Amino acid sequence: MTDLRHAPGENGLVWGNGGFTTKHAFGVYSTRPPLDGFTYDFPQAEIDALPMTIAATRSEAIGAAVVEAYTVMHDREGQPEQVIASCLLADGRRAWGISTDPQLGSAMVNEEHIGKPCHLDADGVLRVA
């Protein structure tokens, strides 16, 4: 926020997450109040009304899937250490996949993998085609 103090009229966004990236918070800050006053929204009812994707058990998820979303965890030296991926099965259910393959981690950092076909084994290990 120090930057805003030195930039009258500018806006800034602060975003953060918590839990297991399941809780989100953000704030929009400015050096001047909004022209129409402050507004608040409580969208939880709309969020709850959205369709839910059912999670498959590990044994149900064995086989072909598609990468829906992913993150790559890095070690202290900055090298890819673990991939955690949300995968969609052909029947629309969701399953988790993991990998400790550093080559896959590097590839996922350098290239987009959302929508790519993948395979999940009995231990939930992710292999991307």
Number of H helices, E strands in the chain: 3, 7
Domain with CATH 2.40.50.840 in the chain: 63-128
pLDDT at 95: 96
78 closest CA partner among 33, 40, 43, 109:
109
Q: How confident is the prediction along the chain (129 residues), in pLDDT tens digits per residue?
A: 567 788 888 888 888 877 666 777 888 888 888 888 888 889 999 989 998 889 999 999 999 999 999 999 999 999 999 999 999 999 999 999 999 999 999 999 999 999 999 999 999 999 998
AA identity, residue 117: P
Residue 49 CA to residue 32 CA, distance in Å, equals 36
Q: How many CA atoms within 13 Å lie on the side-chain side of 62?
A: 5
Q: Where are the beta strands (DSSP E) in the chain?
A: 11-18, 23-30, 63-74, 80-88, 94-99, 117-120, 126-128
61 closest CA partner among 116, 105, 126:
126
Class of domain 63-128: mainly beta
